[in-house]
Chains A and B, each alone.
Chain A
Amino acid sequence: MVTQQKKANKLASASLIGKMMLASFEDIKRQAAEGKKVVWANGLPVYVLARAADMPVLHAEGLIAGLAAKKQEKPLQDAAEAFGMLPDACSYARSFLGAARIAKGDFKLDASVNREAVTMPKPDLYVNSAGGCGTGRVWGESMAVYLGIPVYHFEPKFIWDESDLEPSVADFVEQEKEFIQLLEKVTGKPYNWNRLKELLVEVKKAVTLRAEVMKLCRNVPSPASFFDWATSIGIVAHLIGLPGTGHLLTQMKKEVEERIAKGTGAVPVEKYRLYWDGILTWSNIGGLANKFAALDACVVVSTYTNLVWWPRPDMIDPEKPLESIAYNCCDIVLLRNYPYRIKALSELCQEFSIDGMVLSETQTCRAFNGHHFMLMDGLARKLGIPAVTINGDSCDPRFYSDAQVDTRLQALLETIDARKKAG
């Protein structure tokens, strides 16, 4: 059992993200009450296209991760399971289907449930843009059928080898055009291309800034950790393009630079620098952050935070908004074959001076786990970096075991120590 005396030194500015997320959910409710048509979405941030059509967008993973982090996800999962969903299905999807049942008034909530937190306005349109995950398709289809609303399915294709990227981007641009036609049909208004370009200016600033700040974690000790950056996904996912996000990132940058100047780290003592692959177990984000801190380990970089959300800021040109979005939805690591992944991860491990790797077995997400063992083997062979898997799940705490995580982390750190001693 890990004795947790030392605690994670979380970025104060990162804690503001949760408040912004809550405010945005309230804003969606307000706009829906005023008669605006609402979009529900899952997956990659192509739904920014709907924001330009002045439609409030609720991002599934943003809502569910936030609820799980506050341990409020259970009523949603109960609602889905009462409908016949089995717990082996993606917990984001299951929970969002539960949210649909609650929004439709088909599931009776217990008196103890925070109704405001789990009740969202019923949508008028659904958009599925799951990247690297076939489940997003059946998820989106289920949501649309259940809610009786139109759906658009984006399908960024798997990049088996490099020659597949450009055709995939070109095809994605066509899909965006089809989606915009659907938006025009649903809103009954011509699409606001100028607004989209304005949004892309903001998006470029935000994602470029976030990438720059995350790079500052190359510093030793690292001024922030994966747990801060995981929280900040909200800025580039659910909140993307909304007012205040650029300012928040500027605050984060300032805080990180101040920490570097003072030599302050994200953990009180940074003895080990770790890489994280897989989704975070949102229901235990605080506990995990403190657990690593107590072991003098800082998770400084991850696939989830660094290679999935807007990974190509360089390709954003507001004058070419569709292509800009397409590159950032098609060229993500989850849509890449193993040779690309091992190269990308090796580069990050070297850039951030990584000692060891933690692979989070996200039990109900088969998109993130597929390459785990090959990556473990590959990185051990290529860079001599030891790794462990820990169990968990994105949003279903039933799959998480604290004792197992303790044992495996201790084993990893002991291995790192032994290797360091051996030179």
Chain B
Amino acid sequence: MEQIMNRFRSVVEAPYEKLAEWKNASKGKVVACSPMHFPEELIHAAGMLPVVLQETNEAITSGFSHIHPFYCGITRNMVDIADKGQLNFLDAIFYSDICVQARTATCILQQTLPRTRVEYMRLPMSLNRPNASEDTVREFDKVKSTVESIAGNKIDDSALKQSIRVYNKNRSLLRSLRDLRKANPGLLAYRDMLLIIQAGMLMPKEEHSELLEKLLSRLKKGKAASKKGRKVLLSGHLCQKPKADILDLIEGMGGIIVDDDLYTGYRYCALDAEENGSPFQALVKRYLETSLPVPTRSYLPVRWDKYLVDKATANRAQGVIILVVKYCEPHLFHYPFIKEALAAAGIPHIMLETEHEVVSLEGTRTRLQAFMEMLG
């Protein structure tokens, strides 16, 4: 098991270094996409390696010559590592219109990475518009053509169907992992579970699934000591990983993280694409008919505040820990409503603002301790 975890850890700790190595060894093409909305299956079906851009822990230095400090961590980090040449090996980068900061990053990357093709995907933001489906088809079609031109080959329906199956299988395995851990939280530290999910964004899905299957079979045989503590739900971080130190703090003071709605957690593996019918339409449907609250879109069938109350109640969480990435505007506008809804439902919460730069954890520890004590 440790060997599998070490493989995942090595991918996550030095993502771009490992991907460049993979590219050299395989002579394949690596195409990165921004988190949240991009249909990775399209890249996979074209025979290239899709990866989701990840924030690294590196201090931001030369990137400040392109971007102000009041942009969120992942945006500044991407601009910075691109400036340092760490993304030069990528064949292409696709950003989607998550927020205005992601758009800014795309424009800067296009200028700083002249040898990498940088593209921008514009999906409809109002999911209930009469032409939302037509609009999504048009944009996905445009992306498909661009992906084909990068790959140098066409994406046919059977290849896309196969890619959807590969991705669905991977998501299903990740959901099994989450279920297993939920039933027995002592089996796996939360930092490790998120690390496993994150590793899947950075390596071939087939390899990730194979390792996951082995890991799952070992975990199922394992007997972790039963864990008692205060049950908390983790929420936030729409497109980037949380700091593992914060997860350790929570668990270190007796907190049991029962579930999450993080991007590098539940969100990444929550929704499959249909395997029957047109594979292209299946990707469109998954985008438009989401059952998750998507804070960057409007006219949602599910409001985030209501979703969170329901999720906390279903998981019998005693409290909610909300991680807000500093300068993340979509989250900043949802937070007051979440705060109100949780208060109305009698569910205590704590909001922690997180930054790219590592700051002293002592203040966070004190606040979390007080919160945990309040939970009883």
Contacts and interface: CB of A to CB of B under 8 A. Distances in A.
Which of A137, A178, A369 has most B Cβ within 10 Å?
A: A137
Given A142-B333, A361-B68, A363-B70, A134 B110 contact: no
A84 B335 contact: yes
Contacts of A133: 100
Contact of A160 (B98, B99, B122, B303): B122
Interface in A293-327: none
Contacts of A155: 124-126
A299 B336 CA distance: 39
Interface of B: prevailing SS: mixed
Contacts of A90: 329
A153 B100 contact: no
Interface stretch (A109-117, A204-212, A258-266, A370-378): A370-378
A399 to B, nearest CB: 9
Interface residues of A, number: 45
Interface in A140-178: 140-142, 145-146, 151, 153, 155, 157-158, 160, 164, 167, 171, 174-175, 178
A308 to B, nearest CB: 15
Contacts of A193: none
A317 to B, nearest CB: 24
Contacts of B107: 337-338, 370-371, 374
Contact-residue bracket for chain B: 35 or more
B135 A134 contact: no
A369 B97 CA distance: 17
Given A89-B332, A89-B333, A134 B326 contact: no
Select the residue from B68, B120, B138, B340 with max chain A CB neighbours within 10 A.
B68
Contacts of B327: 88, 366
Given A133-B100, A142-B336, 20 more contacts: A84-B336, A88-B329, A90-B329, A134-B99, A134-B296, A137-B298, A138-B296, A138-B298, A140-B298, A142-B337, A167-B138, A171-B131, A175-B129, A178-B130, A338-B107, A363-B70, A366-B104, A369-B104, A370-B67, A373-B66
Interface of A: 83-86, 88-90, 93, 132-135, 137-142, 145-146, 151, 153, 155, 157-158, 160, 164, 167, 171, 174-175, 178, 337-338, 361, 363-364, 366-367, 369-374
Interface of B: 65-68, 70-71, 97-101, 103-104, 107-108, 110-111, 119-120, 122, 124-126, 129-131, 135, 138, 295-299, 303, 324, 326-327, 329-330, 332-337, 339-340, 353
